[in-house]
Structure 1
Amino acid sequence: MAGSVDASAFSLDAELDSSSPLSERDQKMLALERQWWKYAGAKEQAIRELFDMSATHYYQILNGLIDTEEALAHDPMLVKRLRRLRTSRQRARTARRLGTDA
């Protein structure tokens, strides 16, 4: 299929840590978040193909995941970056609702 994402191209399995308390899915989600995306929509397509879920459902799970101590211990820099990005987006949304600058 044209435009299909080759799930094996991301080599998420290579980054799994069998000693981690995180599930395989959670580790793969964090590994996917480490990737950089060149084209719009590529990440959403990868989410659909790798995890068989919508991007909305993926981000709901990811939001819960990054609040756990296990995720923080697994990849502190990534989890802190994702938390900062989430906080920044929440502030911007709140500012838009209130009609003020963030």
Structure 2
Amino acid sequence: MTDDHTLSERARAVLALERRNWAGPGAKERAIREELGLAPVRYYQILNALLDDERALAHDPVTVNRLRRVRQARRGER
């Protein structure tokens, strides 16, 4: 059960998975499927929404700010 000030368990799991380092190609996608039961496309949709969620920023500011910088840099390249 969540209220307006806390992240769901799935949201916290997505951020935790995003904090990890990945050994090689496919390892992250495999973990997304096996650990979270999500298709990678859905995972990235959830992750992108979390980057705009102030609760996510409060929960894990280092990860969220890093990913916001990456997203902004990619937008600048387009």
TM-score normalised by L of structure 1: 0.68
Q: How far apart are the structure 2 equivalents of 1:31 and 1:51? A: 11
Q: Return the alpha-carbon distance in structure 1 between the equivalents of residues 16 and 37 of structure 2.
A: 16
CA RMSD of aligned residues (A): 1.2
- The answer to whether residue 23 in structure 2 is matched with residue 38 in structure 1 is yes
Structure 2 unmatched ranges of 5 or more: none
- Give the structure with the higher percent helix: 2
Q: What pairs up with 1:18-57 in 2 under 5 angstroms?
A: 21-57=6-42
The 8 Å contact of residues 29 and 40 in structure 2, kept in 1 or not, is answered as: yes
- What runs of 5+ residues in structure 1 fail to find an aligned partner? 1-19, 95-102
Distance 1:44 1:32 in 2: 10
| Higher Rg of the two aligned structures | 1
Moved over 4 A (4+): none
User: Which has the higher relative contact order, 1 or 2, with Cα contacts under 8 A spaced 6 or more apart?
Assistant: 2
